[in-house]
Structure 1
Amino acid sequence: MKKNLKAISLFSGAGGMDIGFQKAGVDVVWANEIDKDACNTYELNNPDTYLRRGDISEVYEELKNYNGIDLLFGGPPCQGFSVAGKMDPTDIRNTLVWNFLDVLKIVKPKAFVIENVKALGTLKKWENVRERIFKLSNDMGYSCNAYILNSSHFGVPQKRERIFFVGFLEKNVDSNLFISRLEKKRKKPKSVREAISHLGPAGTDKNPLTCTAKITLAANPVLRKSPYAGMIFNGMGRPLNLEEASNTLPASMGGNKTPIIDEDLLYHGSEINWVVEYHKSLMENKTKAKYEEAPKHLRRLTIKEAALLQTFPEDYVFSGSKTAIYRQIGNAVPCLLAEVVARTVIEGLEDDQPFNPEQLTFESVQEKALYSESHLKIFN
């Protein structure tokens, strides 16, 4: 019987990426996280994994015991790179990707996976960061390709785009082959309705009402063609289209940035989509809509629902305040997407292809190539 591969998880958070790798047959033997609430959540759900709490840079020495392990994976905090943030090059969180590469040098796994926001792979602002990731990993003997993936292409009920840097030690796994294997795993996502409706209405036993931030109509709405875009309510919380995959869930959920659900549409068979009607009235008369306040059947996405849209197991236990739990969920890698990546990496490890630096190519599933020689270029 083939033994499970063993892995180290960095910047583990609540464990979303770990769940995916574990479902792919990987034993996560050592993990690291600095956030107290996320650590508590991780330990509650991963009793067989040793969790090292604290700053990763302070525990490099003990990682020498894991030299030659099969896999190293993780998602260094990405707020410094994200278009949703200030995109400040001096943001301390931007340096954590180099901590990951420090560990890579110490541990020298057979393969590694770094997850981060799409912006790190597409914006010229971060060109030097991408190029350095490629160069440092190449210098350590890894072929490193980058893939921008939309989680909804792989069964996740959420349109979440992320970049994955995938490296293999002393072997070149052809990026076209890697992409073809990803393509074989494509799967239509569940809609928001299909993903959460079995929980029951918010406030019931299986679906506690966890966010009570009031929903009010924006005094100066920002309109877009879609009623599910723009800003027609207070704060950044946008309504979710129940018949499609959700938009990206932010880590800032918990207050008025929490997405909005129409309870009547979801559970009470309403034939009127209030959000669509309200948006239509705004589009027809941009100075004044026919409604003065949001109806009571609009409410915020619950913790249980948010976790399911990230494909956490329904029985997953979270620790911390409501805000801390929403943050853990929003920061996570969708479990199902992580599983797809893990299975594809494992297939790459099973290939018998020698490492040839001259054959390296860096491509994305979205038909954008990330190619690095002396410089990194992005082209359509």
Structure 2
Amino acid sequence: MRKLTSVDVCSGAGGLALGLERAGFNPVLLLDNKAIACETLRRNRPAWNITEMNLLDFDPIENPDPYDPDAFEVDLLSAGLPRVKSSATTKRVETGLELRLLKATVHLAAHVIQPKALLIENVPDLVTAPEFEEVRGFIQSELLHLDYKFHWFVVNAADFGVPQDRKQGVLVALKSQLFDRFHAPAPTVARHITAGEALLSSMSARGWGDAEAWATQANRVAPTLVGGSDNRGGADLGLTGTKKVWAQMGINGGALSDEVPGPNGIQESDTSGSSLKKLTVEQTAILQSFPDDWIFTGKKTLRYRQIGHASPPPVGEALGRAIATALRG
């Protein structure tokens, strides 16, 4: 069975690309504008062709060197884009960087690469919310005349074995002859994995005697991890409401720890005085379902942001397998 090819933009720490690799896609190019993300990708996949560049500046036709023009005859263009935002007061989409990156991805698909399939993953509201109707219209107007048809749907990462309530809006655009072959992926697990189940092994790694009791209390999927802004703040687990949910699960969402609890439950780097436990960066990677051997480069906050911004690999794999089935017939 031939290897399918892909180009992945706004690749980040590689969650979507890793999932697509598992589904049988061979990336001919991965693009990201952050040096730390590109370093992470190179540490884990030295053979991948990784380019550090802003998507808004990327044009392989005008700048062919060092690009191989033949490399862009690809099956799939994938993009796990920064989340577009909308204004609750005006009900109009903000004309910010996130929206420009989304439009640049569509432009790349329509006017440069013209892949057999396009995969864009973003906020659930992109699929149905009225304030994003203009964005959906732009995407379809750019691609309809090139004989693409569109599947819009929402998936929850928890349905694919990720111990996290993480809803993602998805667009899969395919050439019309492939359209009826595609079906949105069905859940791969019969029961959601709780945060306690996912983290019990790591919580007990240093001999914490109450780890099992904690895991029993953390008997739900984790809230959505957020990487936060690149421009401000440290590594925490979200807004006030989300931190309250974490607290109900026995977790202090205000910061991350450098180590899991010791035999007496103490985390040496935690000076908060709270009885709640803090997660480590490595534990947040578990909640995103990255493999244990996936290396995130940089200091703690930078590593956590890469994890929080990533698409969970099992979701990328499920989407990739569904797209691969359509492409192969």
TM-score by length of 1: 0.68
Give the match for residue 148 of structure 1: 154
Q: 2:94 aligns with which of 84, 89, 100?
A: 89
Q: Is the contact between residue 225 and residue 237 of structure 2 (CA under 8 Å) also seen in structure 1?
A: no
Inter-CA distance 256–51: structure 2 relative to 1 (3 Å threshold): closer
Using a 3 Å threshold, how does the CA distance of structure 1 residues 154 and 34 change in structure 2: closer, same or farther?
A: same
Please report the RMSD computed on the Cα atoms of aligned residues, expressed in angstroms: 3.1
Are 2:28 and 2:48, in contact at CA under 8 Å, matched by a contact in 1? yes
| Uncovered stretches (5+) of structure 2, i.e. residues with no partner | 208-215, 252-259, 264-271
> How far apart in 1 are the matches of 2:187 and 2:199?
26
Q: Deviation per CA, 1:180-221: give whole Å up to 9, x if none.
A: xx226354332111211112358x59xxxxxxxxxxxxxxxx
- Describe the SS at the equivalent of 2:150: strand
Q: Say whether 1:299 aligns with 2:267.
A: no
The one of 320, 323, 328 equivalent to 1:342 is: 320
Give the structure 2 partner of residue 169 of structure 1.
175
2:219 to 231, 236, 243: 243
Structure 2: how far apart are the matches of 1:51 and 1:318? 16
Question: Which residue matches 1:363?
Answer: none
Aligned residue among 197, 200, 203 for 1:200: 203
Q: Report the alpha carbon displacement of residue 166 of structure 1 after superposing the two structures with TM.
A: 0.3
Once the two structures are superposed, the pairs formed by residues 31-50 of structure 1 within 5 Å of their partners are 31-50=30-49
Secondary structure, counterpart of 1:52 in structure 2: strand
Query: Whose radius of gyration is greater, 1 or 2?
Result: 1
Q: State whether residues 163 and 287 of structure 2, in contact with CA within 8 Å, keep that contact through their aligned partners in structure 1.
A: yes
Q: Partner residue of 1:262?
A: 250
Residues 250, 331 of structure 1: 8 Å contact kept? yes
After superposition, the C-alpha distances for 1:152-203 in whole angstroms (9 at most, x for unaligned) are 112111110111110112424238x614xx226354332111211112358x
Count of matched residue positions in the alignment of Structure 1 and Structure 2: 286
Deviation at 1:79, TM superposition (A): 4.6
Q: What secondary structure sits across from 2:119 in the alignment? A: strand
Whose strand proportion is higher, 1 or 2? 1
Q: Does 1:324 align with 2:302?
A: yes
Whole-angstrom CA distance in 1 between matches of 2:236 and 2:120: 31
Q: 1:320 to 1:143 in 2, by over 3 A?
A: same
Q: Does the CA contact (< 8 Å) of 1:254 and 1:326 recur in 2? A: no
Q: Please give the alpha-carbon distance, in whole angstroms, between the structure 2 residues aligned to 1:107 and 1:44.
A: 27
Distance 1:98 1:256, change over 3 A: closer
CA contact 2:86–2:92 (8 Å) conserved in 1: yes
Q: Hey, what's the Cα distance between the residues in 2 that align with 1:133 and 1:169? A: 14
Determine the structure 1 residue equivalent to 2:210: none
CA contact (8 A) 2:159 2:187 kept: no
Q: 1:241/1:5 Cα in 2 relative to 1: closer, same or farther (>3 Å)?
A: farther
| 1:289-329 per-position Cα deviation (integer Å, ceiling 9, x unaligned) | xxxxx863313221111101111011111111211111111
CA contact (8 A) 1:81 1:117 kept: no
Q: Contact 1:23–1:339 at 8 Å: present in 2 too? A: yes
Match for 2:118 among 100, 106, 112?
A: 112
Stretch of structure 1 that moved more, 41-50 or 74-83: 74-83
Determine if contact 1:152/1:189 at 8 Å carries over to the other structure.
yes
Does 1:69 find its partner at 2:74?
Answer: yes
Superposed displacement of residue 12, structure 1: 0.1
| Structure 1, unaligned runs of 5 or more | 206-239, 270-293, 352-380
* Structure 2 partner of 1:217: none
